[in-house]
Amino acid sequence: MSDEEKKDAGVDRRAFLKTAAATAGIASAAPAITLAQAAEGAQGHGAKGEGARHVEVIERPGSDFMVDVIKSLDLEYMSLNPGSSFRALHESLINYGNNKAPELITCMHEEAAVAMAHGYSKAAGKPMGVAVHGTVGLQHATMAIYNAWVDRVPIVMFAGNGLDITKRRPGTEWNHSVQDPALIARDFLKWDDYPMSLTHFAESAVRAYKIAVTPPMEPVLVTADIDLQEEPAHDAARLVVPKLAQSVPPQGDRGALAEAAKWLVEAKNPVIIADRCARTPAGVKRLVALAEALQAPVVDLGGRMNFPNTHPLYQGAKRSLMKDADVVLLLEVADPFGQFNSIADPTKKLTHYANKDARVVNISMQDVFLHSNYQDFQRYWPVDLSINGDAEASLPALTDEVQRLLTDGHRRAFAERGKKLKDAHAKSRKHALEEAAVGWEGSPVSTARMCMELYALIRNEPWCLAVSDRLAAPRKLWDITEHHQALGGAGAQGVGYCAPGSLGVALANKTRGRFTVTFQPDGDLNYSPGVLWTAAHHRIPILYVMFNNRAYLHETMHIQRMAGVHGRDVSRSHIGTTIDNPFVDYAKLAQAYGVWAEGPIDDPSKLAASFRRAIDVVKSGHPALVDVVCQGA
Ligand SMILES: Cc1ncc(C[n+]2csc(CCOP(=O)(O)OP(=O)(O)O)c2C)c(N)n1
Ligand SMILES: [Mg+2]
C-alpha cells in the first residue's frame, strides 16, 4: 500500500486513537468507548477481564498483513456474520483494507454467508470470500459448505480461532475455541490449514485459493489464529505475499480422446450427457461444436448451463434416447449410474433402461478427487473408457479428433440424424407448451403460469435465473442460450440454499449488468429469511418470486407415498409437512426487512401487473419480492 492509500484506508485512524484515546465505530450504531475500556473488554461478549489500563497501539497488527494477503486473491466480496475470533481481521478489512476488494457483506446466518458465496462463484466465475467464527460459526455454515462441495464450487473461507490457552479470556472465548476448527467440515473441504505464523498464513491462503479453483473446484478453509491476527506483525518488512499461480485445467489423455472420437463417429445413435461440463461460456461453445460435428443429441442435466435449449440437438432428459444409444458420452456427470438405471420409489425395484450393449465414455475429474464419508460420489458404474480430465478443457481435442475422422459419408448420415433430432426438438417444445397450458386459469396459480407470466416481461432483459433446477417450466420454455442464464442449484439439495444462493448470484450480477430473478420456495426462505435484510442493506437488485405452496410439499408427497404403502389414510399427510395455520405473510416479512414486496397473489390474472411493478423496483437497483400462492412442487 502506498502512503496515500494507507491514509485513504484509514490507517491514520490508529494514529488518532493513539493520541486521543477516542471513539470507535459509527456513533449512531455503537456506543463510543475508550481505548482503556476496549482493553478491558468492557464491550466484550461475556468477558470480564481484569485488562491492563495502559494500552499500546499496535501499528501493524498481523491482521493487516492478512489483509494484504487476502487482497492479492482478487476477492470482490467477503460475506460474514461477525464473530470476535476474527475481530482484528474484520477491523483490518474495514480500516486498513478500506472495505474494498473485498467489500464485506453482512449476513444474518453463516449458512447464508456461505450459500451467497456459492451462488456468487457460479455467476461470477471466480470465488468469493467468507469469514466465519471458528466454532459456532462453522457449525452453522456446514450444510452450505456441503452444498458447494457437491456442486463443485470454489469458496475461499477464513475462520477465526484461538489455540493458545494462556491468551483465552475465561468464559465465552473458551466455548468458542477449538483444537481443529476445520474438522467439522473437513469431509467436504478440498483443503484446509491452520497457519502458525504470518508467512505460513500467506502461503496457505494463496495455496488454498489455487487449490479451490483447480478442477474439481471445491471450498477451502484457512484458519486465522486470533493471536496471529492481534499481535504485531514482527519482522513486518520481511513478510511477503507469494504470487498466486493458477493451474491450467487438466485435459484428458489425447490418445484416449482419439479413441472416444472413433467410437462416437462410428456410432449409429450416440448420446451426449452433460451435467457440470461447462464451467464458462467457452464450455457451451465447445459442446455445441462437438454436438454439431456429430449431429448427436445432447441431454443437459442442468448442473450448469451446458447447451442452449433452443438448439435443435438439445433433447432434454429422454430415456427413449438411452434405449437405442450405442455410444454414450458422459461429461462431468455427477451420477453416471442414474443415466442408465432407475430405482423405483418406494419398491426399490431396479430397472436398467438403457441399451445394455452401449459403450460408455466418461470424461470427469470425479475419480481424481473425492472423499469417503459423504456419499455424493453415487453408485459405481462400469464405463468402457474412463478419461480423467476436465470436460470443458478436453472438448476441443475431442472435437478435433472427431473432425479428423469425418468422411462425406459420415456427414450425409449425420445430417439425416440431425434432421430427425430437429423434429423431435420441435415436438417436445410444442408438448411442453401444451403441458404448461394445463391449469392456466387455476387458483392457486400453476407453477407454469407463474413462470411464463414472468418470462413474458423479462425475456428482453439480460436475465439470469439464479436457481434453475427447481422448476421444469423455465428449462423447457424459456430460451436459455447463455451460460449465465441458468446456474443450476444447491448441489446437494440442502434446503436453504435458494434464498441466499440467489442473492449471491445477484451480487455477482450487480456489476455485470444482468437482471437476476429467482423462484423462491417458501420452505427454503424460512431457513434464513434474514437474507432479505442483506439484500436491502447492500442494495442488491434481485426479483424474488415466492413460489409459495405453503408447504414442504416434497415431504408431503413422501408421507402420502408412505401412507399408501402402509395402506393408511393419506389425508393426514399435511401433519408436519405444511406451512399453514397461520400462513406466513411473505410480503410483510420482506417489508419488515426493508424489501419492496407485494402479495399474496393467488389470482393469476393479477400476476403481470405486480411483476411489472417489482421489475421497476429491481431496475432501480433494489430487491423486490412478489408472493405468489402456487400449486405444485
Ligand atoms: C436442510 C434440509 N432439511 C430438510 C430437507 C428435506 N426436504 C427436502 S424437500 C423439502 C421441502 C422444502 O420445502 P420448499 O422449499 O417449500 O419446497 P417444496 O417442496 O414445497 O417445493 C425438505 C424439507 C432437505 N433437503 N434439506
Ligand atoms: Mg414449499
pLDDT at residue 225 in the model: 98
- Number of Cβ atoms within 10 Å of the Cβ of 349: 9
pLDDT at residue 317 in the model: 72
Task: Pick the ligand that lies closest to the CA of residue 492.
Answer: 1
Give the closest residue to 339 by CA, choosing from 308, 383, 373, 309: 383
> Ligand 1, from 451, 527, 528, 555: best to mutate by most atoms within 8 Å of Cβ?
555
Question: Rounded distance, CA 221 to CA 490, Å?
Answer: 20
3-state secondary structure 265-306: HHCCCEEEEECCCCCCHHHHHHHHHHHHHHCCCEEECCCCCC
What is the CA(375)–ligand 1 centre distance, in A?
A: 19
What is the CA(578)–ligand 1 centre distance, in A?
A: 11
Task: Pick the ligand that lies closest to the CA of residue 632.
Answer: 1
Closest atom of ligand 1 to CA, residue 494: 26
Closest atom of ligand 1 to CA, residue 554: 19
pLDDT at residue 23 in the model: 42
Closest atom of ligand 1 to CA, residue 470: 21
Question: Rounded distance, CA 315 to CA 296, Å?
Answer: 10
- pTM assigned to the model: 0.93
Instruction: Kindly report, residue by residue over 93-150, the tens digit of the pLDDT.
Output: 999 999 999 999 999 999 999 999 999 999 999 999 999 999 999 999 999 999 999 9
What is the CA(575)–ligand 1 centre distance, in A?
A: 15
| Sheet strand arrangement including 129-133 | 103-106, 77-80, 129-133, 156-161, 220-225, 191-193
What is the CA(299)–ligand 2 centre distance, in A?
A: 28
* 113 Cβ contact partners less than 8 Å away, ≥ 6 residues apart: 79, 80, 81, 105, 107, 130, 131, 132, 141, 144, 500
- On whether the CB atoms of residues 287 and 304 are closer than 8 A, the answer is no
What is the CA(500)–ligand 2 centre distance, in A?
A: 16
* 251 Cβ contact partners less than 8 Å away, ≥ 6 residues apart: 257, 389, 390, 393, 394, 397
- On whether the CB atoms of residues 368 and 389 are closer than 8 A, the answer is no
Closest atom of ligand 1 to CA, residue 495: 26
Question: With left for phi above 0 and alpha for psi between -120 and 50, is residue 267 left, alpha or beta?
Answer: beta
Task: Pick the ligand that lies closest to the CA of residue 146.
Answer: 1
List, in sequence order, every beta strand (DSSP E) within 147-218: 156-161, 191-193
End-to-end alpha carbon distance in the chain: 53
Instruction: Kindly report, residue by residue over 360-400, the tens digit of the pLDDT.
Output: 999 999 999 899 999 999 999 999 999 999 999 999 999 99
Which residues approach ligand 1 with their CB closer than 6 A? 143, 493-496, 521-524, 549, 551-555, 633
What is the CA(499)–ligand 2 centre distance, in A?
A: 13
Identify the three-state secondary structure at position 370.
coil
What is the CA(463)–ligand 2 centre distance, in A?
A: 24
pLDDT at residue 30 in the model: 54
What is the CA(493)–ligand 1 centre distance, in A?
A: 8
- On whether the CB atoms of residues 274 and 301 are closer than 8 A, the answer is yes
The residue whose CA has the least distance to atom 16 of ligand 1 is 523
Question: With a cut of 70, which residues of the chain have pLDDT below it?
Answer: 1-54
**Residue 118 burial class via C-beta count within 10 angstroms: exposed 0-12, middle 13-18, buried 19 and up:** buried
Task: Pick the ligand that lies closest to the CA of residue 577.
Answer: 1
Closest atom of ligand 1 to CA, residue 498: 15
What is the CA(527)–ligand 1 centre distance, in A?
A: 10
Question: Rounded distance, CA 485 to CA 495, Å?
Answer: 22
> Ligand 1, from 143, 450, 552, 586: best to mutate by most atoms within 8 Å of Cβ?
552
Give me the sign of the Cα torsion angle 148, 279, 210, 226.
negative
What is the CA(498)–ligand 1 centre distance, in A?
A: 11
Closest atom of ligand 1 to CA, residue 556: 19
* 264 Cβ contact partners less than 8 Å away, ≥ 6 residues apart: 270, 294, 296, 327, 329, 361, 402
The residue whose CA has the least distance to atom 9 of ligand 1 is 554
> Ligand 1, from 522, 554, 577: best to mutate by most atoms within 8 Å of Cβ?
554
Closest atom of ligand 1 to CA, residue 523: 16
Task: Pick the ligand that lies closest to the CA of residue 549.
Answer: 2
Task: Pick the ligand that lies closest to the CA of residue 527.
Answer: 1
